[in-house]
Amino acid sequence: MINEAAPDEFREDPALKLAFPAKKLLGLDEYFCWRSIEEVAQWRENALDMIRQGQEDENVHLLRGATEDLAAADKIYPTLATPLSNVVPLTPRIDAPVST
């Protein structure tokens, strides 16, 4: 009921709204297919592996696709996402202070 892709006759039906108040259902993908948490966790791991591979190969197409996959997985089960999990640095971070 809450998904904007649902047909209008479902989202606007007063009887359905009363019986089924709108709320987000964890596990539904963009096509209304339910995915188990294990499946999405594996999907995330595969996307992270592809991001690492894209970085090593400097393959922007692989990076873009893998980042989109990771974002899609994080929408299905947001609790699996860690803060900034869909942001992968393109260069190594240098945490040590620069000495002058």
CB 93 within 8 A of CB 99: no
d(C-alpha 2, C-alpha 22), whole Å:
5
Domain assignment present for residue 80? The answer is yes
Q: Do 46 and 29 belong to one domain?
A: no
Q: Do 47 and 82 belong to one domain?
A: yes
Cite the DSSP H helix spans in the chain: 8-11, 14-19, 37-57, 60-76
pTM (2 d.p.): 0.60
Q: Do 58 and 72 belong to one domain?
A: yes
Q: What is the pLDDT of residue 7?
A: 85
Q: What is the pLDDT of residue 92?
A: 54
Q: Do 40 and 21 belong to one domain?
A: no
Output the tens digit of pLDDT for each of the chain's 100 residues.
677 778 888 888 899 888 888 777 889 888 889 999 999 999 999 999 999 999 999 999 999 999 999 999 999 988 887 665 555 555 555 555 555 4
Domain assignment present for residue 3? The answer is yes
**What is the end-to-end Cα distance of the chain in Å, rounded?**
60
As for how many domains the chain has, the answer is 2
Domain that holds residue 40: 35-86
Summarize the chain as % helix, strand, coil (round to 5). 50, 0, 45
Q: Do 42 and 81 belong to one domain?
A: yes
